[in-house]
Amino acid sequence: MRNKRGLVCIALGLALILSAVGLTGYNMWDEKAAGEKADQAYRQLRTQSIEPGELELPEGVLPAYQVAPQVEMPEVEIDGHSYIGYISIPSLGLELPVMSDWSYPNMKIAPCRYYGSVYLNNMVIAAHNYVNHFGTLGGAAVGDLVRFTDVDGNVFDYTVVELEQLWPDQTRDMVKSDGWDLTLFTCTRSGRQRFTVRCVQAGEQSG
């Protein structure tokens, strides 16, 4: 009887080990696939959107978003998904496309707009903690440059001013815009909290 129990315990242990190895393998594959999808979308977005400085407006004519900040952000469709631009964080070596609408399936592809608009200085961008998405966001520091470029080639530069961790139920704190023009967030590695980067606009340049 004892031998049978011992064999059962060994079998259960092996099953748990194999399950853990399988889960780890899947997570690594999932993360790699997400990075490749984001990179592919970023490259296509750069070819389909207007490059900064490419579109010159007549002297004295302001971009539409400056005349009416409440205007909807323009979008570019790639593989059936809508994108509003791309974000870069030089200190972290990140250049990523940003999808127009947030959803869990969308975040498997690229960072997503969670709330707001860059024109209204209240945009929030969410992404998974994949290494090739926002997984290195914890390495950001106060003073770092964050740049967002919309599909019309308008460039918005921000400076990181605050880093914080919020609980999942602090949704209202995540989207509040008092004092911040741009917020980036992702899950911590444990998944229990949201690592949050608050930014203020440092300069603006229209394409």
Residue owning tokens 């049978």: 4
* Tally of helices (H runs) and strands (E runs) in the chain: 4, 9
Task: Indicate the pLDDT class of residue 192, thresholds 50, 70 and 90.
Answer: confident
- Give me the pLDDT at residue 102, please: 93
- Give me the pLDDT at residue 5, please: 63
- Give me the pLDDT at residue 4, please: 62
- Give me the pLDDT at residue 33, please: 82
- Give me the pLDDT at residue 23, please: 44
Between 7 and 63, the higher pLDDT residue: 63
Q: Per residue in 143-172, pLDDT tens?
A: 999 999 999 999 999 999 999 998 877 777
Residue pair 159/198 in contact (Cβ under 8 Å)? The answer is no
Q: What percent of the chain has pLDDT over 90?
A: 57
Q: Per residue in 6-47, pLDDT tens?
A: 666 666 666 566 555 554 454 555 788 888 999 999 999 998
- Give me the pLDDT at residue 12, please: 66
CATH superfamily of 42-205: Sortase (2.40.260.10)
- Give me the pLDDT at residue 196, please: 93
Task: Indicate the pLDDT class of residue 207, thresholds 50, 70 and 90.
Answer: very low
DSSP secondary structure letters along 123-184: EEEE----TTTTTTGGG--TT-EEEEEETT--EEEEEEEEEEEE-TT-HHHHH--TT-SEEE
| pLDDT, averaged across the chain | 85
Is residue 182's pLDDT more than 60? yes
Give the Cα separation of 57 and 144 in Å (integer): 30
**Domain boundaries, given as residue ranges, for the chain:** 42-205
Is residue 63's pLDDT more than 80? yes
